[in-house]
Structure 1
Amino acid sequence: MPNAPHQKSPVPETGVADLGLFGKPLFKDPSARALRRVGVVDVGSNSVRMVVFDGAARSPAYFYNEKIMCALGAGMADTGHLSPQGRERALSALKRFSKLAEGMGLSELTAVATAAVRDATDGREFCEEVEKQTGVKIWVIDGEEEARLSAQGVLLGWPGAYGLVCDIGGSSLELAEISGGRVGRRVTSSLGPLKLRDIKGGAKARNAHIKEVMQALADQMGSQRDRLFLVGGSWRAIARIDMIRRGYPLHVLHEYRMTRQSVRDTIEFIRKSDMDELRAEAGVSSARATLVPFACEVLSRLVKTIKPKDIAVSSYGIREGMLYEQMPQRLRDRDPLIEACRFAEDKDARSPGFGKTLYNFIMPIYKSAPAPRKRLIKAACLLHDVSWRAHPDYRAEVCFDNATRANLGGLKHSERIFVGLALMHRYSNKRENIRFTDLIEMVDEKTRAEAEILGKAMRFGAMLWMDKVDELGEMRWYPKKKELHLHLSPDMMPLFGEVAEARFTSLANSLDAQAVLKTARR
């Protein structure tokens, strides 16, 4: 695997590159289609995981995802060897993954091994055994390469992200700087929970060691006061517990935000809790739960040392970084949210391509909207018809549920709810008496009202147009006069029946405006 980070031109943090609002989709381009189904394996110190990516090339779906907790690095501090039981379990897992890949028609699996295998005296022997028995070649990467790939995984979901990526594995911890779509300085350390667990002298000795190593890392990386991106299973386990402590209703880890104070409060909450009960409530495996207290010690010192502005959890890491490695630059520059929505429209909508027509039709209402809001409007228009197969009685709720919990990158939790609400109102005028009240209350009333307007605009536009025709009518919005005009050609008038008229009036009422029908063309 190459060691130098790819150079790329800066992309805004929203991920919206200067490619036009509706540039040509790349998921059908030959170079992108080569990434349609990609299998990667991460042989870590604690777990061995296979992920098969499929779907939209820029923001692929997880076609298959399986993890086996092997603890390859357990006991290495004393023996210098991989755990015998861990080796046996890892080899068994890799045999299974190889067979699954064959059944899925994958040409090959790209496999990398990290700290445990690279540090163990029998690491090379293990890799040779795996290749002999499975045909899978394992690439053993050094700590800086591991940091780079993890940082690239973050860039897969946040194309213009800036700040510090911290990836914690079983036997190591890596830091990488990202800015302007590029990976900068990178460092590695032995601050993994498996290694910390083996330190003699108890908590006092561990904390002294963590403090010393963390300060050395901070000295190497320089000032880092921007966003901290947390990558790795132990961080995700802590984030799940933070959600429980806060009573946070949206259980999506990707882009979940924490503050330094919430980290401190959650670490104290973990210390005082019964770990077995907490593990069961958070859905954390017993093998992972045993490492959480050690990860808490590291996170506490990390936050105290670098003092980040805010903290974001990334579900994307080294495996997604391996996929990003294979992407052509023009694909990397695309917005992962929009590419995923376009793929969903192409696959599931009744009239693929109509999302662009709908977007253009309703945009007069949003002429002055900022670019981040237009981006969400575009995503909603692309998704407006992908759930049409759901039962009519539940379609609105299905739309909301899909938008808020879907595997979509480049989308904050508040933005998920905005898009979900808009899609709900695409199929329903009301949102009372639904089971998502706790989620809806996560955004303010102004946001809810804006989502309702967008939903009603899509609801009306989808009824008026049934094909990718965008020349026969238009809306004009006069905010000062509080008038919403609809201009239709004579050919379009038969579509403007009673229900369409009612929906147009409902949209105008949401804007606190008068609905005006114009039959003459401009």
Structure 2
Amino acid sequence: MDGEDLKTPGDWGPFGRPLFNDAEARALSRVGVVDVGSNSVRLVVFDGAARSPAYFYNEKIMCGLGAGMAETGRLNPEGRRRALAAIRRFQLLAEGMGAAPLSAVATAAVREAEDGPDFIAEVAGLTGLNIYVIDGREEARLSAQGVLLGWPGAYGLICDIGGSSMELARIQHGEILERETSQLGPLKLTDLKGSKKARKAYIREEVAKLADKIELDRNRLFLVGGSWRAIARIDMARRNYPLHVLHEYRMTAKSVRATVDYIADQDLDQLRKKCSLSSTRMGLVPLASEVLLEVVRQFKPHDIALSSYGIREGLLYEQMPQKLRDRDPLIEACRFAEQKDARLPGFGRSLYRFIEPIFKSARPERKRLVLAACLLHDVTWRAHPDYRAEVCFDNSTRANLGGLKHSERVFLGLALLHRYKNNRNGTQFENLYGLLTEEEQLQAEILGKAMRFGAMLWPERDTEIGLMRWFPKKKVLELELTSAAGPLFGEVAESRFRSLANSLNAEVSVKVGNPRARMVRA
């Protein structure tokens, strides 16, 4: 909403008034973060709706700073040269983007190398950038905060694997509890002497030490880190999974075991090409898969979720005021998209109030998706009309949005597709519909057709469209419009209203400017 909308009185519902224009939120509109890891160095610049990270810029260089440290005790010389060049580039980019000063952290390789302090001093001398070397427990805390950015109130175990270390943290009701670190990064395991059997025994022993320090939590296991993401990509390929979005991708203990066996049986170079992985990353996957298998075996999570959010997002979360942290990342991102791209910002709220009676018995998580869809219902209006429905679906299912399960992405996309199109058959996305039950597909269709009709009654924002009532037992859909709104109920609007009623298998009762209703069969 614009500044005036923020001052508009009235009930904003469970999500409260938008915050992205508040001074504290605007201060986070462009935040640059550098993460100097044992395997990679990355710059991320966040922009836009501060509660839900929009990636204005994202670049990674696989430097391998920690390669060979077990033998030398020092940073890899070639890795150090590449990392320094990358950081100099990142600093210049940040200045050009208005994202300076950067927040920069270094993890296991730099904190353990004897020449780590010298590297930090060299970076400061050449770029003016101060890199903070964080210990393992702080690394675990920031990773946990990154997960909380996407899942407010989350619970379970966060497992963040880097090149030289692996961190665990437990969260409950959005609070970070125990935090521990280990030497289980795949670069460290590469340098481990002995047989494969000895390595597996070492991994088992180290995971057991972590299990002794962290309360057993069989809820959700959140996986953070590039090696976990690579394994998830391979799991997707093995299962022929249709939606190639890593964030919130789910696995089970059974699927992890199957994928570890699958990796062991494959030609790694062919697998790397099939899954679009770098050779550097692929080289670490077999070792990382052994670690993941043991973590799953000992902690026995009922659910495993990939998180694309980690330390870098945790640094953004660190700068947020608590009132912004408490917000729903999906709703804040959808509000921001409406404000930026819709023809009539603010109408999504009116549309939601109009169609909400159809979903009055829905659970809160479904009503949340209804609101998100209403906020997004007009943001792709610039697309060509022949492709608008598919653009809506594509944007929703592949957008960088937090707080959405894959099935919810498809539900939201299907609802927005039906905002512009009655029939969902014959699109290029039919293979994704299977992530929803038939009933969920119908509910998405009903939501889309309700928005398709409501969008016809478009006088001005914050104006009541009218009243719509749904009586599911009687199978009656009532519409009541004022005399002023009556002229908006033209032939096309009436056709769309009947299409909605057809999907509900309902009769309709229409009142336009008079108290008497006329009953017609849809």
Q: Which amino acid is the alignment partner of residue 89 of structure 1?
A: R
1:80 aligns with 2:69: no
1:496 aligns with 2:489: yes
Match of 1:367 in 2: 360
Match of 2:436 in 1: 443
Change (3 A) 1:135 1:338: same
Query: SS of 2:180's equivalent?
Result: strand
Query: SS of 1:188's equivalent?
Result: strand
Q: Which amino acid is the alignment partner of residue 364 of structure 2?
A: A
Match of 2:409 in 1: 416
TM-score, normalised to structure 1's length? 0.95
Match of 2:300 in 1: 307
Q: Which amino acid is the alignment partner of residue 255 of structure 2?
A: S
Change (3 A) 1:219 1:294: same
1:113-192 matches, within 5 Å, as 113-192=106-185
Contact 2:30 2:98 survives alignment (8 Å): no
Change (3 A) 1:294 1:521: farther
Contact 1:214 1:302 survives alignment (8 Å): yes
Match of 1:62 in 2: 55
Match of 2:282 in 1: 289
Query: SS of 2:470's equivalent?
Result: strand
1:388 aligns with 2:377: no
Contact 2:354 2:465 survives alignment (8 Å): no
Match of 2:188 among 195, 202, 208: 195
Contact 1:472 1:491 survives alignment (8 Å): no
Contact 1:361 1:470 survives alignment (8 Å): no
Distance 2:116 2:12 in 1: 46
How far the C-alpha of 1:520 sits from its partner, in A, is: 3.7
Query: SS of 2:402's equivalent?
Result: coil
Q: Which amino acid is the alignment partner of residue 205 of structure 2?
A: E
1:220 aligns with 2:213: yes
Distance 2:384 2:270 in 1: 38
Match of 2:447 among 454, 458, 472: 454
Structure 1 gap ranges (5+): 1-17
Q: Which amino acid is the alignment partner of residue 433 of structure 2?
A: I
Distance 1:475 1:283 in 2: 50
How far the C-alpha of 1:279 sits from its partner, in A, is: 0.6
Distance 2:297 2:135 in 1: 27
1:237 aligns with 2:230: yes
| Deviation per residue, 1:381-434 (Å, 9 max, x gap) | 000000000000000000000000000000000000000000000000001111
Distance 1:20 1:110 in 2: 35
State the percentage of identical aligned residues.
69
How far the C-alpha of 1:521 sits from its partner, in A, is: 6.3
Q: Which amino acid is the alignment partner of residue 279 of structure 2?
A: S
1:100 aligns with 2:96: no
How far the C-alpha of 1:469 sits from its partner, in A, is: 4.3
Match of 1:31 in 2: 24
Distance 2:184 2:394 in 1: 38
Distance 1:481 1:74 in 2: 69
How far the C-alpha of 1:466 sits from its partner, in A, is: 3.6
Change (3 A) 1:413 1:398: same
Contact 2:350 2:465 survives alignment (8 Å): no
Distance 2:56 2:426 in 1: 34
Change (3 A) 1:111 1:262: same
Change (3 A) 1:486 1:19: closer
| Deviation per residue, 1:147-183 (Å, 9 max, x gap) | 0000000000000110000000000000000011111
Change (3 A) 1:232 1:19: farther
1:377 aligns with 2:370: yes
CA RMSD of aligned residues (A): 1.1
Distance 2:466 2:15 in 1: 20
Contact 1:237 1:284 survives alignment (8 Å): yes
Distance 2:273 2:514 in 1: 64
Question: Matched residue pairs, number?
Answer: 505
Contact 1:22 1:356 survives alignment (8 Å): no
How far the C-alpha of 1:60 sits from its partner, in A, is: 2.1
Match of 1:463 in 2: 456
Query: SS of 1:185's equivalent?
Result: strand
Match of 2:261 in 1: 268
How far the C-alpha of 1:480 sits from its partner, in A, is: 2.2
| Deviation per residue, 1:221-244 (Å, 9 max, x gap) | 121211100000000000000000
Distance 2:276 2:450 in 1: 40
Using CA pairs below 8 Å that are at least 6 residues apart, which structure has the higher relative contact order?
1
How far the C-alpha of 1:478 sits from its partner, in A, is: 1.8
Q: Which amino acid is the alignment partner of residue 22 of structure 2?
A: D
Contact 2:486 2:513 survives alignment (8 Å): no
Contact 2:457 2:465 survives alignment (8 Å): no
Contact 2:15 2:327 survives alignment (8 Å): no
Q: Which amino acid is the alignment partner of residue 73 of structure 2?
A: G
Query: SS of 1:45's equivalent?
Result: coil
Match of 2:344 in 1: 351
Query: SS of 1:278's equivalent?
Result: helix
How far the C-alpha of 1:486 sits from its partner, in A, is: 1.0
Query: SS of 1:410's equivalent?
Result: coil
